[in-house]
């Protein structure tokens, strides 16, 4: 009987551990960073990096792209500052919606998003 009880306890503990791992993996943010070029720039403070919602009129080069889930525009700005960007162009994607709210202007969740991307740029 003791062997059976030990087996059940071990199996239960292993199952609980597996469930914990799966829950933690499901909650993790996914992040993708792609850096272009070979020139490295000195870091800046986040306050020195412009946060843009569309491409600027100034001429620029792209130095990196960031993509993640569960981060804020300020987190993207911080990443851009770490690599010395002058600005970061932010886009938010996804969000909550219902079938009765096909038009973005009528979407009660228009300010929510599930993904965020940022393009770190350096002005020429």
Distance between start and end Cα atoms, the chain: 77
Which of 49, 37, 113, 44 lies closest to 76, judged by CA? Answer: 49
Rounded Cα–Cα distance for residues 29 and 72 (Å): 12
pLDDT of residue 92: 82
pLDDT of residue 38: 87
pLDDT of residue 103: 59
- Domain segments of the chain as ranges: 30-123
Beta-strand (E) ranges in the chain?
Answer: 31-35, 50-52, 60-68, 87-93, 115-123
pTM over 0.85: no
pLDDT of residue 4: 64
pLDDT average per 10 residues of sequence, the chain (124 residues): 60 53 48 88 98 96 91 93 97 68 59 81 96
């Amino acid at each position: 009987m003791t062997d059976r009880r030990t087996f059940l306890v071990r199996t239960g503990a292993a199952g609980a551990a597996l469930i914990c791992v799966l829950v933690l993996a499901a909650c993790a943010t996914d992040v993708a960073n792609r850096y272009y070029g070979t020139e490295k720039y000195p870091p800046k403070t986040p306050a020195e990096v412009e946060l843009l919602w569309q491409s600027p009129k100034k001429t620029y080069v792209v130095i990196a792209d960031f993509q993640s889930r569960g981060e804020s525009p300020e987190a993207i700005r911080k990443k851009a500052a770490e690599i010395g960007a002058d600005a970061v162009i932010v886009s938010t994607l996804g969000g909550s919606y219902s079938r009765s709210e096909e038009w973005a202007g009528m979407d009660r969740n228009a300010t929510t998003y599930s993904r965020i991307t940022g393009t770190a740029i350096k002005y020429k």
